[in-house]
Structure 1
Amino acid sequence: MSTTEVTTGDRTGSAPPRPWRDRKRYLWPLATLMPAMPFAGAGLVALTDSPVFWWLGPMILFVILPTLDLVFGATDDNPPEDERERLEADRYYRWVTYLFLPVQYASLVFSCWVWATWGLPWHAQLGLALTMGVVSGVAINTAHELGHKREDVERWLSKIALASSAYGHFYVEHNRGHHVRVATPEDPASSRLGESFWAFLPRTVWGSLRSSWHLERKRRAKGRHSLLDHEIAVAWAMTLVLFVALVAVFGWAVLPWLVLQAVVGFTLLEVVNYLEHYGLKRGKRADGRYERTDPRHSWNADHTVSNLLLYQLQRHSDHHANPLRRYQTLRHFEESPQLPSGYGSMIVVALVPPVWRRIMDPKVLAHYDGDVTLANLHPRTRERYLSRYART
């Protein structure tokens, strides 16, 4: 009997193929645990009487998540392509992302209440600010997933998610700037071979801000637009209204912590940008234009747990090659360069440039079969790298 035959009433016939099932379907809502970290931290402090749990956000991001990635490993399985339409039409997956936002804002209000009324020592307040900063950083990832979609509600939710990090211009720059210039020397959000994170950070923050204003001004020059249609102004106004409202309710004491958590949030975004395209460069065609973005131009990480909690952001190669794909359909590609571990571990490594270079520079060189001239070289270290890795 063949594998497709079944025993029926007449003991003959062929079974229809078993429909593919998303084995992670009911695990995706775990991502909504990330914005609840301030609540979880407070609960653990109450249970243990230990203030260390105000630092739960950094603990989860830099210790617990890498450990879980190590334990559960990576998976390179892809959903069948003929299932894409069905998966992307299933609104369950959209509600998983939508639910992130109310938890995010509940955590922000709760954090302000704690800063204002609990009388915590400065180190506990700092820990809570860093934990809330991790929430705002992960919220930028949620905004990233929502902002790429065509539906107006998702685009507005993207802007709302960005308000707590005061990084609303990301919506403009990422979609209309980064995705056009990715893996080129012209992109402020693509890090270069030999460039440390600490050199990259001011370049990308200032460059992305300047680029977003240029792109928005160019868009608005094409027709008549009201001030309410200025995407950056509206996004920043949302942050201003949010922060003013929180200060009005809880007092000026919360303002420094609000600013700090916002800085932590967008710094996490930029260190992730640093990881995602380090040293990678698109070649140029005969007409002088860059080749189309494909899976070779982004670093991937297929680690199961961190991908569940980050809406598969680490399958970044497919995202850049197909930016409208929803997170549940993003794929692994054999030709994509692979990070040695998930983002939590690699963020720590990126903060220590000598360790980062020791790990990642050989991987960039291997990706280009030893030809360093094909990489996106940092101008300040270009000659040193050309001399060091020159082919003989």
Structure 2
Amino acid sequence: MAAPVLTAPGCAAWRDGKRYMWLTAVMVPLLAVVGYGLWHRTGLGVHWWITPLFVFVLVPLLDLTSPADPVNPPEEICPALEEDRYYRRCTYLYLPLAAVGLVLGAVAWSGGHLTPLGRLGAVVTVGTVTGVGITTAHELGHKRGPLERWLARLMLAPTAYGHFLVEHNRGHHVRVATPRDPASARLGEGFWRFWPRTVLGGLRSAWDLESQRLRLRGGRVCSPRNEVLLGWLLTAALFGSLAAVLGPSVLVFLVAQAIVGITLLEGVNYIEHYGLARARTPSGRYEAVTPRHSWNSDAVISNLALYQLQRHSDHHANPTRRYQALRSFEEFPQLPAGYATLLLAAYLPPLWFRLMDHRVLAHYRGDLGLANVQPARRAALEARCRRAATVRSSASS
């Protein structure tokens, strides 16, 4: 079936060649269901690893062997493109499929028939489903419609990350690329140091932001209008219902898969703004957010699987712009690969530093003072910059 042709006054007709490829994201929960079915039929726990192999092996291989996709829809076409409800339904579809995958994983765990390999695979598989689900919730949670906001809340419930909607929209988007933002990784900061800082910092920030909002409106902090408490209530209802039906032992599985999902999401956060910083203006305030404060990638398969989250600069410039209309520009900071590939590197700090530190310094033309630097690593990074400058000076002379 060919994609519909879109037209606009003064613009040539345009067709989205990736229209039906946007369903790539739902392969993640679908494969979890397939993995459960194969395990149930054969008893082999190895089938629980199909989803992680797809996300962390096949997608990176396809990214690395496929040409990048820098194509942007014509700006005149974007209003019609954003109004096409097909693209919204692609995101809506993720939630019910993820719910099925979560329930099947919980049933398999509580049945007591999983081998240790199968138990670990079930946790990683379902955690991957719910982790990618947070990126789906991210797309939905930036929209103003009540349906999309509620779907985002429900998608965040399996990872107990309901506060993400508050912190991301009203915290991260305001403080991005500054030392005040728990979701902006610093140059020289390893992922496993970043993880507790961003998880705990994001939680504190969300509570403070929501408490302040309610007090300004004359409401009570502990009330059903508190978005953070609402998110936690949805998680408690989900976990409690599954525990009531399947037994309390399933809570171990639910907590473990939530940790995997959170780690996947925070790995993406770590990549998106690593080392990038907004300068202070003469007034002492931070400069406005611009495209140079986010890392980007045109790796095509990762973009299809993550609703084009890798076009992150345009997302920060236009948070309500729908994923199918996000744009790529050559002058934005560019990653060496897509998120699916770089996640594994991010989890190995020495490899990550080797891949990315010199790119951050090149972005700032060797001026470490312009970057967002981990304080404990500043002296070592300054010494490295001096050595590099000495080598360049010797080479030029």
- The alignment's TM-score, normalised by the length of structure 2, stands at 0.92
| SS of the residue 2:244 aligns to | helix
Q: Secondary structure at the match of 1:219?
A: helix
1:317 to 290, 313, 318: 313
- Alignment check: 8 A CA contact 1:137 1:269 kept: yes
Instruction: Indicate which of 3, 8, 30 corresponds to 1:36.
Output: 30
1:261 corresponding residue in structure 2: 257
Query: Partners in 1 of 2:44 and 2:253 — Cα distance?
Result: 21
> In the aligned structure 1, how far is the partner of 2:17 from the partner of 2:263?
33
Aligned pair 1:106/2:103, yes or no? no
Q: Is 1:161 paired with 2:140?
A: no
Q: Distance in 2 between matches of 1:322 and 1:217?
A: 26
Q: Which residue of 1 aligns with 2:6?
A: none
Task: Identify the residue that residue 218 of structure 1 maps to in structure 2.
Answer: 212
Identify the residue that residue 197 of structure 1 maps to in structure 2.
Answer: 191
- Aligned twin of 1:151: 145
Deviation of 1:49 (Å):
6.3
Quote how far apart the aligned CAs of 1:339 are: 1.1
Amino acid across the alignment from 2:104: F
Same amino acid, percent of matched pairs: 54
1:169-196: per-residue Cα shift (whole Å, max 9, x none)?
1111000000000011111100000111
Instruction: Encode CA deviations 1:37-87: one digit per residue, 9 max, x unaligned.
Output: 321213444677643221223212211110111122311111111111101
* 1:288-307 alignment, distance < 5 Å: 288-307=284-303
Which one is further off, 316-325 or 52-61?
52-61
Which residue in 1 is equivalent to 2:89? Answer: 95
Over 3 Å counting, the alpha-carbon distance change for 1:47 and 1:67 in structure 2 is farther
Cα distance in 1 for partners of 2:30, 2:380 equals 46
Tell me the equivalent position of 2:394.
Answer: none
Q: Is the 8 A contact 2:189 2:374 kept in 1?
A: yes
Once the two structures are TM-superposed, the CA of residue 286 in structure 1 deviates from its matched residue by 2.3
The C-alpha deviation readout for 1:308-361, integer Å capped at 9, x for no partner, is 111001111111111111000011011211111111111111111111111101
Where do 5+ consecutive residues of structure 1 fail to align?
1-15
The answer to whether the Cα contact below 8 Å between 2:280 and 2:287 also exists between their aligned partners in 1 is yes
Kept in 1: contact 2:36–2:105 (CA 8 A): no
| Distance of aligned partners of 1:17 and 1:294 in 2 relative to their CA distance in 1, 3 Å threshold | closer
Q: Distance in 1 between matches of 2:125 and 2:247?
A: 21
Give the C-alpha shift of residue 225 in structure 1. Answer: 3.0
Contact 1:37 1:135 in 2 (8 A): no
- Tell me the alpha carbon deviations over residues 217-276 of structure 1, each in whole angstroms, 9 at most, x when there is no partner: 110111133611000001000000000000111112211011100011011111111101
Instruction: Name whichever of 46-55 and 129-138 sits farther off.
Output: 46-55
How many residues were matched structurally? Answer: 377
- Report the residue type matching 1:69 in the other structure: D
- Correspondence for 2:352: 356
1:372 aligns to 2:342 (yes or no) = no
Cα displacement string for residues 10-31 of structure 1 (whole angstroms, at most 9, x for unaligned residues): xxxxxx9651111111111222
Counterpart amino acid of 1:274? Y
Larger displacement relative to structure 2 (74-83 or 32-41): 32-41
| Matched residue type, 2:167 | E
Pair 1:220–1:109, CA change in 2 (3 A): same
The code of the aligned residue for 1:279 comes to G
Rounded Cα–Cα distance in structure 2 between residues aligned with 1:97 and 1:183:
28
In the alignment, the residues of structure 2 paired with residue 89 and residue 258 of structure 1 have an alpha-carbon distance, to the nearest angstrom, of: 37
Deviation (angstroms), 1:117: 2.4
Gaps of 5+ in 2: 1-9, 391-397
Which deviates more from structure 2 when the two are superposed, residues 35-44 or residues 181-190?
Answer: 35-44
1:68 partner letter: L
SS at match of 2:341: helix
SS of residue paired to 2:143: coil
Question: Structure 1 residues 143, 369: closer, same or farther in 2, change over 3 A?
Answer: same
**1:320 and 1:366, CA in 2 relative to 1: closer, same or farther beyond 3 A?**
same
Q: TM-score, normalised on structure 1?
A: 0.93
Instruction: Write the letter of the residue equivalent to 1:197.
Output: F
Q: After superposition, give the CA deviation of every residue in 1:73-126 in whole Å (9 maximum; x if it has no partner).
A: 311111111111101111111111111111111111111111122611122012
Q: Which amino acid aligns with 2:325?
A: T
1:233 & 1:314 partners in 2: Cα distance? 30
Query: 1:12 matched to which residue of 2?
Result: none
- The 8 Å contact of residues 69 and 303 in structure 1, kept in 2 or not, is answered as yes
Give the distance between the partners of 1:375 and 1:106, measured in 2 at CA.
44
- Partners of 1:310 and 1:260 lie apart in 2 by 23
C-alpha contact (below 8 Å) 1:295/1:333 kept by paired residues: no
Contact persistence 2:276–2:294 (CA under 8 A): yes
Instruction: Tell me, in whole angstroms, the C-alpha distance in 2 between the residues paired with 1:292 and 1:35.
Output: 38
RMSD: 1.6
Aligned amino acid, residue 98 of structure 2: Q
Which shows bigger deviation, 109-118 or 294-303?
A: 109-118
Q: Distance in 2 between matches of 1:180 and 1:90?
A: 29
**Comparing 279-288 and 255-264, the one that deviates more:** 279-288
Distance 2:164 2:323 in 1: 19
